[in-house]
Amino acid sequence: MSKNNSFFSDKKFTDKKLFPYGISRSGDFSLAQTLLLEQHGNAYRELQQGLREPINEEETTFIEVFKGNKDASTPHELVWKRFLEKTRNKVKVSSFSSRQVKSDSFDGAVEEEEW
């Protein structure tokens, strides 16, 4: 792959913090989406954060989408939008707790209401 191609990155994109078993095993993305993220995710992130200058119109449009000036329409834009939605809403939950949950006592009696 030439370095002049859109969204070129020579590293595989991973996010070990939010996807410790890999993006492909998360169940959040299709195979095609996973391939795009793994191949181009570093470029997407760098473009969005302003760490990389766009090399063509496609990358310039990508930046405009994530500035909120345009709607996502290309596979690159759509998959990065989905990634951001999934990672912004991802919450780590632990069911392990040393504290017991206390609730109001409920004796099972139900009062009848008049309609």
pTM of the predicted model over 0.85: no
Q: Which two tokens stand for residue 57?
A: 């119109």
Task: Give counts: helices (H), strands (E), the chain.
Answer: 3, 0
Q: What is the pLDDT of residues 73-100, one digit of tens each?
A: 999 999 999 999 999 875 555 556 556 5
Q: What is the pLDDT of residues 37-82, one digit of tens each?
A: 999 999 999 999 999 999 999 999 999 999 999 999 999 999 999 9
Task: Quote the pLDDT of residue 90.
Answer: 59
